[in-house]
Chain A
Amino acid sequence: DVKVTQSSRYLVKRTGEKVFLECVQDMDHENMFWYRQDPGLGLRLIYFSYDVKMKEKGDIPEGYSVSREKKERFSLILESASTNQTSMYLCASTPRGSPGDYGYTFGSGTRLTVV
């Protein structure tokens, strides 16, 4: 089975902290994605990557950055955490090709609370 692992299930951080969310997949997938999920707003795409060292902005990139130094790892960085970034963060991956060719495999999610 494809496995997408997110390093933390729950995180509590203080306003202004720099926060790193890690995602690792073990199936040699080229495409990786970061979403946040909020009640009533659904899943919103923050950033995605189709290859190592490559990144593209999604719909809500403000306040976030990403890093993909290795194919299997895609990190989401909150440069200066704010309370409006309290959310469930989901990482997903797919093999090379159009996202519609495959369904996403999601990680287990990280519930981040910024206080």
Chain B
Amino acid sequence: QKEVEQNSGPLSVPEGAIASLNCTYSDRGSQSFFWYRQYSGKSPELIMFIYSNGDKEDGRFTAQLNKASQYVSLLIRDSQPSDSATYLCAVALNQFYFGTGTSLTVIP
């Protein structure tokens, strides 16, 4: 069983809409959760992390964590074409475990 599961997509949303990206994880001992954005041909860049149950907001991005249900999500409000990328979910145990990523396309 994979440690981290993401829907590979592709997910398409119109410009200005809310994009919702989801991730589930298998190890209840996981304490730290990260979202990375990766543009095509580039390396991942950290956009958000969350440790506690609930929501964490940073600008247009909101990370949501539900440890009881073992999922973490990323909401992108007012989506822009520049948000088109692959979003990687990562869970930290003794090392990082990455999902395979969800491809997001924001349509102008």
Q: A106-B45, A108-B42, A109-B42 are in contact. Are A99 and B88 (CB under 8 A)?
A: no
Which residues of A from 42 to 76 have beta carbons under 8 Å from B? 42-43, 45, 48, 58
Q: Are A106 and B44 in contact (CB under 8 A)?
A: yes
Q: Are A42 and B44 in contact (CB under 8 A)?
A: no
- Report the bound CA distance from A99 to B30 in whole Å: 12
Give B98's nearest chain A residue, CB to CB: A43
Taking the closest CB of chain B, its distance from the CB of A31, in whole angstroms, is 10
- Is B92 close to A, CB under 8 A? yes
Q: Are B95 and A58 in contact (CB under 8 A)?
A: yes
Chain B contacts for A99, CB-based, 8 A: 92, 94-96
Give A6's nearest chain B residue, CB to CB: B43
Task: Tell me whether chain A's interface is mostly helix, strand or loop, or mixed.
Answer: mixed
Which residues of A from 28 to 47 have beta carbons under 8 Å from B? 33, 40-43, 45
The contact of A40 among B34, B46, B93, B100, by CB within 8 Å, is B100
Q: Are A42 and B88 in contact (CB under 8 A)?
A: yes
Q: Are A106 and B92 in contact (CB under 8 A)?
A: no
Which residues of B from 31 to 55 have beta carbons under 8 Å from A? 31-32, 34, 36, 41-46, 49
Chain B contacts for A107, CB-based, 8 A: 43
The contact of A104 among B94, B96, B99, by CB within 8 Å, is B96
Interface residues of B, Cβ cutoff 8 Å to A: 8, 31-32, 34, 36, 41-46, 49, 88, 90, 92-96, 98-101
Could you write out 6 A-B pairs with CB less than 8 Å apart? Answer: A33-B96, A40-B8, A58-B95, A104-B46, A105-B46, A109-B43
